[in-house]
Amino acid sequence: MSLIEALQGTDEQRKGILFVAIETLKEPAEISQFFIEYVSYLKNLRISHLAKHNPEEAARRNIGYVIPFYETVAEKWRELAK
């Protein structure tokens, strides 16, 4: 089971998968794996032109937008989502 599948059973419907991941995942390996899966997730959703054509950049932008709300984990995410 992927991390995204595991997280989808939580508050994902209310918050969004990225918010749930940031609040839930703490280990560097989990965060790195989530980033890889999140890129594929965005590519498959095709919710924007950027996500369709450059899902990795869309993932970075989404994380960059959301992370400031979570300053305690911001540095870890910035470092591991490169």
Q: Could you identify the residue written with the tokens 């992370």?
A: 67
Contact at 8 Å (CB) between 3 and 33? yes
How do residues 2-28 score in pLDDT, each as one tens digit?
888 888 776 556 778 898 898 889 999
Q: Is 34 exposed, middle or buried (0-12, 13-18, 19+ CB in 10 A)?
A: buried
Cβ neighbours of residue 8 under 8 Å, at least 6 residues apart?
A: 17
Contact at 8 Å (CB) between 23 and 34? no
Domain encompassing residue 75 = 3-80
Contact at 8 Å (CB) between 41 and 65? no
The pTM (predicted TM-score) of the whole model is 0.76
How do residues 22-59 score in pLDDT, each as one tens digit?
888 999 999 999 999 999 999 998 788 988 899 999 99
User: What is the number of structural domains in the chain?
Assistant: 1
